């Protein structure tokens, strides 16, 4: 697909355990367009998190190919993949993964400073991202001073602050109650509306999946 930001061609993933080969993913085919939002659902053990890790370059496929804007990730060395993750990828996790010793603003500044932005620019961009999510008044608070929903909004701001091409979200509302989860998803989709960022989200929640452009079901390592 010409406008695909990320593409998987016949991707498999196998592990060896107790003398047996475990087939986690089986010939996965997938194209994600720039700016598209995609939900991936499936039962526990279907390979969702493994698939997300492969697409993010955290693991290598056993066979097949993963392409970013037409260029094969499987041909990149670790240094190039790490640079790609720093500059072009954002992550949102179920357990937020904020640095407890940093304020909300400093947490959002992290990927910008890692990318190489100076402190003044990083602070300005991070403050803008927090403001867009209604967290301006919480910028100087530490994670333990924020509610679960506020912490996840900070994590969303951090993921979007450096304007990545792709964001991977692994059960981003899984640890939140339903009302807070709905509010957080509205925040995620509102900040995404102003970006040309592809969002690939793993979730068990059909209500969350329904808010995205399309949904794919992973069963026994392949899309149903």
Express each pLDDT in 28-55 by its tens digit: 999 999 999 999 999 988 999 999 999 9
- pLDDT of 2 higher than 70: no
Q: Is the pLDDT of residue 66 over 70?
A: yes
Q: Who contacts 133 (Cβ-Cβ below 8 Å, separation ≥6)?
A: 153, 154, 156, 157, 187, 190, 191
User: Within 10 A of 163 (CB to CB), how many other CB atoms are there?
Assistant: 14
Instruction: State the pLDDT at residue 119.
Output: 95
pLDDT digit string (tens) for 167-215? 999 999 999 999 999 999 998 888 887 778 999 999 989 999 999 999 9
Alpha-carbon gap, residue 98 to 159, rounded angstroms: 11
Cα(154)–Cα(92) distance, rounded to whole angstroms? 10
Q: Is 183 exposed, middle or buried (0-12, 13-18, 19+ CB in 10 A)?
A: middle
Q: Which of the four CATH numbers 3.40.50.300, 3.40.50.2020, 3.30.420.10, 3.40.640.10 does domain 35-57+81-223 have?
A: 3.40.50.300
The residues near 41 (Cβ < 8 Å, ≥ 6 apart) are 48, 202, 203, 204, 206, 209, 215, 216, 217, 218
Output the pLDDT for position 194.
73
Strand 4-17 and strand 63-68: the pairing is antiparallel
Per-residue confidence (pLDDT) for residue 189, from 0 to 100: 87
Contact between 224 and 218 under an 8 Å Cβ cutoff? The reply is: yes
Average pLDDT, whole number, for the chain? 93
Query: For residue range 105-156, what is the model confidence (pLDDT) as tens digits?
Result: 999 999 999 989 999 999 999 999 999 999 999 999 999 999 999 999 999 9
Q: Give mean pLDDT, residues 3-31.
A: 93
Positive/negative CA dihedral, 101, 105, 111, 112: negative
pLDDT at 75: 87
Q: Where are the domains of the chain?
A: 35-57+81-223
């Amino acid at each position: 697909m010409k406008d695909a930001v990320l593409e998987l061609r016949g991707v498999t993933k196998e592990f060896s355990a107790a003398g047996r080969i475990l087939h986690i993913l089986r010939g996965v085919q997938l194209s994600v367009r720039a700016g598209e939002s995609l939900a991936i659902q499936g039962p526990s053990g279907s390979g969702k998190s493994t698939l997300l890790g492969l697409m993010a370059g955290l693991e290598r496929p056993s066979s097949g190919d993963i392409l970013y804007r037409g260029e094969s990730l499987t041909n990149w060395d670790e240094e190039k993949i790490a640079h790609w993750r720093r500059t072009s990828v954002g992550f949102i996790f179920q357990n937020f993964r904020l640095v407890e010793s940093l304020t909300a603003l400093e947490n959002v500044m992290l990927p910008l400073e890692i990318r190489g932005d100076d402190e003044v620019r990083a602070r300005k961009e991070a403050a803008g991202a927090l403001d867009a999510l209604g967290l301006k008044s919480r910028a100087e608070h530490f994670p333990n001073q924020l509610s679960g929903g506020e912490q996840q909004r900070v994590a969303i701001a951090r993921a979007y602050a450096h304007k990545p091409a792709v964001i991977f979200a692994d059960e981003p509302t899984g640890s939140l109650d339903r009302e807070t989860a709905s509010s957080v998803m509205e925040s995620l989709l509102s900040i995404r509306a102003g970006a040309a960022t592809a969002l690939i989200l793993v979730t068990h929640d059909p209500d969350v999946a329904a808010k995205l452009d399309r949904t794919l079901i992973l069963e026994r390592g392949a899309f149903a």
